[in-house]
Amino acid sequence: MCPTRIYRRCLNAKVDIQMNPFAFSNIHLSLEGNSVVGLGSCTARFSGTSTGIMYFDGEGDFYEKQFKLHCSIGEDNSLRIDFVELNKSEESENYVGWKDTLPQSPDYEMPKLVYLGTCPETPESEELPFPGVIAFERIGT
């Protein structure tokens, strides 16, 4: 049985992925009616815009937080992004390493945020899960 979680809130969101000639693509996430944006990078090998819903518990889940991303494309051509908060380990100043990202794994980390949306058109060879990182910041006042 896969671990699951129920989130208290959701907002319409938009994710833009811009492929560049290097190994990483830019990822930009904006939330409707909110002054928080997410900027980061991922290893997607496609460009496009996804519209969907961001699931979370409270607005404090975003502010000045950093996340590692597990992005996957579903059989129904949907884009799912799991946001696992990056925490400093208590023993050192290094970030905790990556753990298995499959929900069936005993080492699976429960995401703090989840995005579900449409998937930009991708080549069939690019439908494998891909990792990324993102930081959220408040813009404006």
What is the residue-averaged pLDDT of the chain? Answer: 82
Range 17-45 average pLDDT: 89
* pTM of the complete model: 0.83
pLDDT (tens digit per residue) in 46-99: 889 999 999 999 888 988 889 999 888 888 888 999 999 887 554 445 544 555
Q: Among 127, 27, 29, which residue's Cα sits nearest to residue 73?
A: 127
Domain extent listing, the chain: 9-138
In terms of C-beta distances under 8 Å and separation of at least 24 residues, what long-range contacts does 2-8 make, across chains too?
A: 2/103, 2/104, 2/108, 3/103, 3/108, 3/110, 5/110, 5/111, 7/55, 7/56, 7/57, 7/113, 7/114, 8/56, 8/57, 8/58
What was the pLDDT predicted at 126?
A: 60
Percent of the chain with pLDDT over 90: 40
pLDDT (tens digit per residue) in 24-33: 899 999 999 8
Integer-rounded Cα Rg, in Å, for the chain is: 15
CATH topology of domain 9-138: Lipocalin (2.40.128)
